[in-house]
Amino acid sequence: MSITFYEKTKVFSLQTKNSVWQMMVSKYGHLLHLYYGNKIPEGELSYLVRGINRGFSGAPYEAGEDRGYSLDTYPQEISTFGVGDYRESCLHVVHEDGSQMLELLYDSCRIWQGKYDLPGLPAVWAGQEEAQTLEIVLKDKASPVEVVLYYGVLEKQDVITRACQIRNRGAGIWLERALSACLDIQRNDLEMITFYGRHTMERSLERGMCRHGKIQADSMRGVSSHQQNPFVILCEEGAKEEWGECYGMSLIYSGSFLAQAEVDQLDQTRFVMGIHPQGFRWRLEKGETFTAPEVIFSYSERGYGKLSGNFHRLYRENLMRSKYRDQRRPVLINNWEATEFHFTEEGLVSLAQDAKELGVELFVMDDGWFGGRDHDLCGLGDWKANPAKLPNGVEGLARKIHGLGMQFGIWIEPEMVNEDSDLFRAHPEWCLRAPGRTPNRERGQLVLDMSNSQVRDYLYESIGGILKQAQADYVKWDMNRNLSDVWSSACPADRQGEIGHRYVLGVYELMERFVSHFPDILWEGCSGGGGRFDAGILYYMPQIWCSDNTDAIERIFIQYGTSFGYPVSSMGAHVSVSPNLQTGRRTSLGTRATVAMAGAFGYELDTRKLSREERQLVKGQIRWYKQYQELIFGGDYYRLTDAEENREFAAWQFVSRDQKASVVSAVCLHARSNPLFWRVRLKGLKEEGWYQVREERMTDEGPLEGKDNETSKRECLICPGSALMYAGVNLPVFWGDYESVRYLVEEVRHQAE
């Protein structure tokens, strides 16, 4: 059993393979946190809770003269506003009489086999034998409000999930704040690692000590955002890939969020996470329930490399639902950087036919195919083919692409509308905008009110009809601005504080309809690249366009930061032109492919402009990726270099789950005169196993030694896994910036003679 309740001491113990989470019901009925960390096989830890009389930290009335008992100093499972805990609260309720207190006391618990789910929200899922659920009911002692805490324990995955529901059994109340999780840790030596950025430069790692007061990562943009990500790590000071205690927290939510750490007066660290309270206000009438989104917790005692592996496996096995989670995904070509808005059906077919000759399997038609869409200031919302570009409609183009033996994909941006569109002229009230005010615009776009079911029905019927007629195989779902002017004409004035969250629920409802009715489509999320790269989207779509920045060197750092919380199979990554359209940087075709192959691989260029030599290289790249995609997606991923510290070269590795095969990639970031010798230590191999190591180095002119794929015939290194992991592998002396090298590592039966 992964969940144990010690009846005598009223202690709950949640055990995973390598960790334990314990909490207890106090003598006055409050739910106190005891411990989360390295596994303790047996026993309960109630002795850890101590009290002492402290000034200006009051006690509950029932405690009488027991002034050492204070909610302001005790570690708690859920913190509430107004009852003597002056640290950050998870819940803030306003009652009908205007009072704002909520004191939650233990009422009951239930343990069952399997994993709870959340109505209308994405959540980790698991079979009956994979997980257990603990449900704890807490009730306010002075009102009919009750809170249900859910804990899902996935023992094998080393994961504990947490969610909560607020139920109102009496007169209406207002929720001013409804965060999902609280973790009180009795230590003050933790760093907080967050992932910040901007459009085309997402998820850069930043770390700093938690301190007295509060530090946070958050988004108030209506989406999880380019600027911060709803995945954070708390770790002991100086933790690295293979050293140090680490706590990972991921919010399964795609809207505005808050992740905050606070060191209190007793040097305890409180972490809270959930929907951002800014602009949030939810009316809960009698009999209604509000469900807060799920937070995933995982703990590692051996650095954040192990922590990342826990999240990668969980997402692949217990969050993604698409059939493409376990299937090989097609190599695609997207026409955007080749044509932008300026294309014809004939031109698209020509591009697809050329790409097909190189081995590309999926052709994706990007923006510009609908309404009067000749530029980005018009047409959004008019989901019907532009007859000037597609005289035979989308289905006519799709027939021709399918006739080539290729799959067909299409770009959509359902959540947006241009003022210059038939939809806006017919239904201006379907936008998020306040009466009497001119709205904020970006690229001439306004945001459709996804909380309005009429809007969702229109989008499903218009876009769904096209997908059905075209027999589409792939859809890229984009979103190219953040939310502002959040006001809905379909909602009364006193409920406008609900619209931000209802927007997210509406997006999820529409996504669920699409993916349920079109289960054979490969769906890819996008928001100006990585502006909505979060676990909520991955529940519906197995991959997300990682960034609009396709520069290979910039992508190394973007994909590095993304990998801390998300698997490589979730990262859309393409080869684009050189010089790059975003940076002007020149990199070899080989290096561009090496970087893009650490993700869901494709091309974003005009293959018709490639030279004969480049075409041969592309054919070889596609053959190689098809051969190794299962290893890349299904294996274990290791960061071999620290992208924040090592600016000389970057290296990463994939290892098959049976440890029999591995792929190692490295890119030179800074070539130097009189260079140093570089070596990289591999990971994840069998220490006692013997491995053959083959080197592949590629440039735009082809392999540096041998021709095409004949590099595999070069002399190989054969040595034990322990040597590769502890002594390492020599990298070549690079000539010029941005050269790349790849090593194929395969287990052999016997040691070398």
Residues 465-494 have pLDDT tens digits of 999 999 999 999 999 999 999 999 999 999
pTM of the prediction?
Answer: 0.96
Joined together, the tokens standing for residue 381 give 């919302």
- Whole-number Cα distances in Å, 249 to 294, 301, 616, 680: 10, 15, 45, 30
List 354, 419, 422, 614, catalytic entry? 614
- Reported as half-sphere exposure (CB side, CA atoms, 13 A), residue 103 has a value of 17
What's residue 1's pLDDT?
A: 72
What's residue 712's pLDDT?
A: 38
Joined together, the tokens standing for residue 472 give 């589409």
Q: What would you report as the CA-atom Rg of the chain, rounded to the nearest whole angstrom?
A: 27
List 155, 262, 294, 534, catalytic entry? 534
Can you list the domains of the chain with their CATH numbers? 3-318 (2.70.98.60), 649-748 (2.60.40.1180)
| Extended beta strands in 660-727, E state | 661-668, 679-680, 690-699, 702-703, 717-720
Q: Which residues of 58-89 are buried (b: 16+ CB within 10 A; e: fewer)?
A: bbbeebeeeeebbbbbbbbbbbbbebbbbbbb
pLDDT digits (tens, 9 = 90+) for 491-531: 999 999 999 999 999 999 999 999 999 999 999 999 999 99
Residue with tokens 């309720």: 93
Contact in structure between 273 and 295 (CB atoms under 8 Å): yes
Residue with tokens 């697809």: 352
Integer Cα distance of 426 and 420 in angstroms: 11
Integer Cα distance of 362 and 383 in angstroms: 22
**pLDDT of residue 64 exceeding 90:** no
Joined together, the tokens standing for residue 382 give 């008019």
**Known active-site residue 42:** no
Integer Cα distance of 299 and 245 in angstroms: 7
pLDDT digits (tens, 9 = 90+) for 131-190: 999 999 999 989 999 999 999 999 999 999 999 999 999 999 999 999 999 999 999 999
Residue with tokens 């098809």: 626
Q: Which residues, in sequence order, are CB contacts of 111 under 8 Å at separation 6+? A: 3, 5, 132, 133, 134, 135
Integer Cα distance of 241 and 623 in angstroms: 32
Nearest CA-CA partner of 233 in 213, 256, 215, 255:
215
**Known active-site residue 512:** no
What's residue 750's pLDDT?
A: 61
708 phi-psi bin (left φ>0, alpha ψ -120 to 50, beta other): left
Joined together, the tokens standing for residue 516 give 């349920």
Q: Which residues, in sequence order, are CB contacts of 124 under 8 Å at separation 6+? A: 115, 152, 154, 159, 161, 252, 294, 296, 314, 318, 319
Nearest CA-CA partner of 178 in 162, 189, 166, 193:
166
Tell me the pLDDT band of 709, cut-offs 50, 70 and 90.
very low
Contact in structure between 587 and 558 (CB atoms under 8 Å): no
Element (H, E) at 457: helix 453-470
pLDDT digits (tens, 9 = 90+) for 710-731: 343 456 899 999 999 999 999 9
pLDDT digits (tens, 9 = 90+) for 288-337: 999 999 999 999 999 999 999 999 999 999 999 999 998 999 999 999 99
Integer Cα distance of 452 and 581 in angstroms: 38
What percent of the chain is predicted at pLDDT more than 90? 91
Integer Cα distance of 624 and 206 in angstroms: 35
Query: What's the full length of the chain, in residues?
Result: 753
What's residue 494's pLDDT?
A: 96
